[in-house]
């Protein structure tokens, strides 16, 4: 069964304290791995798409990487405004749909 699992469920960081969020996947025929950010009461906001193992993408303090089994979202020197839920989704599999993980709730304290 196609599945995406994110860890940790919640993460609390001090401002400036770098860390990584994990997304492990078992999606047959993976065509892409997506990262989204979701703020309370809002829809997910697209961050990155990774298409092949070894690929990396960066945006401000965020960097996403992909291997054949998992993806990491690295957050360097986070700020309070980075606080949000980060969602990972695999595209492909038997149904060619986005399969979402349950997200990591990140809180960055000043």
Site for another protein in 79-98 (CB under 8 A): 87, 89, 91, 95-98
Are residues 73 and 62 in contact, defined by beta-carbon separation less than 8 angstroms? Answer: yes
Query: Is residue 40 near another protein by the rule CB under 8 A?
Result: no
Site for another protein in 51-80 (CB under 8 A): none
Please give the Cα distance from 14 to 88 (Å, whole number).
23
Query: Is residue 44 near another protein by the rule CB under 8 A?
Result: yes
Please give the Cα distance from 45 to 27 (Å, whole number).
22
Are residues 104 and 90 in contact, defined by beta-carbon separation less than 8 angstroms? Answer: no
Tokens 């997910």 map to which residue?
44
Please list, in sequence order, all residues whose beta carbon lies within 8 angstroms of the beta carbon of residue 104, skipping any fewer than 6 positions away: 6, 7, 8, 9, 10, 11, 21, 85, 86
Which of 13, 50, 103, 104 lies at the binding interface for another protein (CB under 8 A)? 103
Query: Is residue 110 near another protein by the rule CB under 8 A?
Result: no
* In the complex, least distance from residue 24 CB atom to another protein, rounded to whole angstroms: 14
Which of 15, 17, 45, 58 lies at the binding interface for another protein (CB under 8 A)? 45
- List residues near another protein by CB under 8 A: 4, 31-32, 34, 36, 41-46, 49, 87, 89, 91, 95-103
């Amino acid at each position: 069964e196609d599945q995406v699992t994110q860890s940790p469920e919640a993460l609390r960081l001090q401002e400036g304290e770098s860390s990584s969020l994990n997304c492990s996947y078992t999606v047959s025929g993976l065509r892409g791995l997506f990262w989204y950010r979701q703020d309370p009461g809002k829809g997910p906001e697209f961050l990155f798409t990774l298409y092949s193992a070894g690929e990396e993408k960066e945006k401000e303090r965020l960097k996403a990487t992909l291997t054949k089994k998992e993806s990491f979202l690295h957050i360097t020197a986070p700020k309070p405004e980075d606080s949000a839920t980060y969602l990972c989704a695999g595209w492909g599999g038997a149904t060619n749909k986005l399969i979402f993980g349950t997200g990591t709730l990140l809180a960055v304290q000043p």
